């Protein structure tokens, strides 16, 4: 499905993130070779690799949830304005929290929660829900939504966060095929509209093939880090040794 590859790529602009010889791991032991990448505004990155390949470790290091083992992460603008969509299993269904309140959380950063706004609701929340076609979900509880609807609400949260870089961990897990395709199209549209650099971890290789500008393959067992366009990575020996040459990944034309 070559025509699914977006034709109109955003012009590469300012770098929002650089990993310089970044080593990720635990307890001072690196899991992977040094990682050198530069992520630019509006770019869509897909992170591929099998279970235990180091994807989550790299992700958590970028997010600041664990320290690097070596090298460094550089935020060229000086302000790592990141937002994150965790796996849906990370949310506890005990909370009867409304969708619009989940979106509103995206506005707070640092100590801004101390600014009183208990009774006032930002108009940005309604606008963001509208932008992802979820205006009618505003007053539903988050837990009562389908996986696809939850994803829309979390995308609206990304929009209000004003993030320069967004990271999504398996955003389409537990979705049916239709909801998955719809979610990814929406994510692609949002990053174009708002110029957000987007990094997505996914088991679904179609994300890399159909949407990504750049792909990073992580392989802890073979100690490989491969970075390139989707075609470059899919044709790389390290990728083929792991995934073979599945017919549906071939690029035509």
Partner 1 sequence: MGEPAPSWAEFASAFELFRDPIVCGVLAGVVLGYLGVFVVLRRMVFVTAAISQSAGLGVALAFYAQIHLGQETAHPVAGALALSVLATLLFAAQPERLRVSRESLLGLAYVAAGAAAVIVGDRITQESHDISAILFGTAVLVRPEDLRAVLGVGLFVTAVHLWWHRGFLFAAFDPDGARVHGLPVRLLDTVLWLLVALEVSVTTRALGALPVFAFAVLPAMAALMASGGLRGAFPLAALLGGIAGGAGYVLAYFLSTPVGATQVVVAASLVLLALPVRAVRGRA
Q: Are 200 and 44 in contact (CB under 8 A)?
A: yes
Interface pick for partner 1 out of 117, 146, 223, 241 (rule CB under 8 A): 117
User: Does 92 interact with partner 1 (rule: CB under 8 A)?
Assistant: yes
User: Does 83 interact with partner 1 (rule: CB under 8 A)?
Assistant: yes
CB of 56 to partner 1, least distance (A): 11
User: Does 14 interact with partner 1 (rule: CB under 8 A)?
Assistant: no
Interface pick for partner 1 out of 50, 88, 101, 231 (rule CB under 8 A): 101
Which 3-state string (H, E, C) describes the chain? CHHHCCCCCCCCCCEEEEEEEEECEECCEECCCCEEEEEECCCEEEEECCCCCCHHHHHHHHCCCCCCCEEEEECCCCCCCEEEECCHHHCCCCCCCEHHHHHHHCCCCCCHHHCCCCCCCCHHHHHHHHHCCCHHHCCCEHHHCCHHHHHHHHHHHHHHHCCCEEEEECCCCCCCHHHHHHHHHHHHHHHHHHCCEEEEECCCHHHHHHHCCEEEEEECCCCEEEEECHHHHHCCHHHHHHHCCCHHHCCCC
Residues across the chain: 253
User: Does 251 interact with partner 1 (rule: CB under 8 A)?
Assistant: no
CB of 140 to partner 1, least distance (A): 7
CB of 25 to partner 1, least distance (A): 18
User: Does 98 interact with partner 1 (rule: CB under 8 A)?
Assistant: yes
Nearer to partner 1, 52 or 64 (CB): 64
Interface pick for partner 1 out of 53, 56, 151, 161 (rule CB under 8 A): 161
Nearer to partner 1, 39 or 167 (CB): 167
Nearer to partner 1, 61 or 209 (CB): 61
User: Does 173 interact with partner 1 (rule: CB under 8 A)?
Assistant: no
Nearer to partner 1, 39 or 227 (CB): 39
Interface pick for partner 1 out of 27, 28, 78, 96 (rule CB under 8 A): 96
How far are the Cα atoms of 72, 98, 140, 209, 241 from residue 218, in angstroms, in the given order?
A: 18, 37, 39, 16, 13
Interface pick for partner 1 out of 2, 77, 144, 146 (rule CB under 8 A): 144
Nearer to partner 1, 86 or 135 (CB): 86
What are the φ/ψ torsions at residue 115 (nearest 5 degrees)? -75, 125
User: Does 178 interact with partner 1 (rule: CB under 8 A)?
Assistant: no
Q: Are 36 and 228 in contact (CB under 8 A)?
A: no
Q: Which residues would be at the binding site for partner 1 (CB under 8 A)?
A: 63-65, 82-86, 90-92, 94-98, 101-102, 105-106, 108-111, 113-114, 116-118, 139-141, 144, 161, 167
């Amino acid at each position: 499905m070559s025509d699914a590859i977006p034709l109109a790529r955003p012009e590469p602009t300012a770098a929002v993130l650089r990993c310089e010889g970044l080593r990720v791991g635990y307890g001072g032991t690196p899991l992977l070779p040094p990682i050198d990448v530069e992520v630019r505004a509006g770019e869509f990155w897909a992170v591929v690799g099998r279970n235990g390949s180091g994807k989550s470790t790299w992700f958590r290091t970028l997010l600041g949830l664990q320290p690097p083992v070596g090298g460094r992460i550089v935020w060229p603008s000086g302000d790592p304005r990141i937002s994150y969509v965790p796996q849906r299993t990370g949310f506890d269904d005990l909370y009867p929290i409304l969708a619009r309140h989940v979106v509103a959380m995206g506005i707070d950063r640092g100590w801004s929660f101390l600014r009183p706004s208990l009774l006032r609701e930002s108009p940005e929340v309604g606008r963001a829900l509208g932008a992802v076609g979820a205006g009618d979900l505003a007053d539903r509880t988050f837990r009562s939504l389908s996986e696809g609807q939850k994803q829309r609400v979390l995308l609206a949260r990304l929009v209000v966060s004003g993030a320069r870089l967004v990271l999504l961990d398996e955003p389409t897990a537990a979705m049916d095929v239709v909801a998955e395709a719809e979610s990814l199209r929406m994510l692609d549209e949002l990053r174009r509209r708002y110029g957000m650099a987007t990094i997505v971890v996914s088991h679904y290789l179609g994300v890399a093939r159909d949407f990504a500008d750049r792909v990073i393959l992580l392989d802890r067992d073979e100690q490989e880090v491969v970075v390139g366009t989707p075609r470059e990575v899919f044709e790389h020996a390290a990728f083929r040794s792991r995934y073979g040459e599945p017919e549906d990944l071939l690029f035509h034309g």
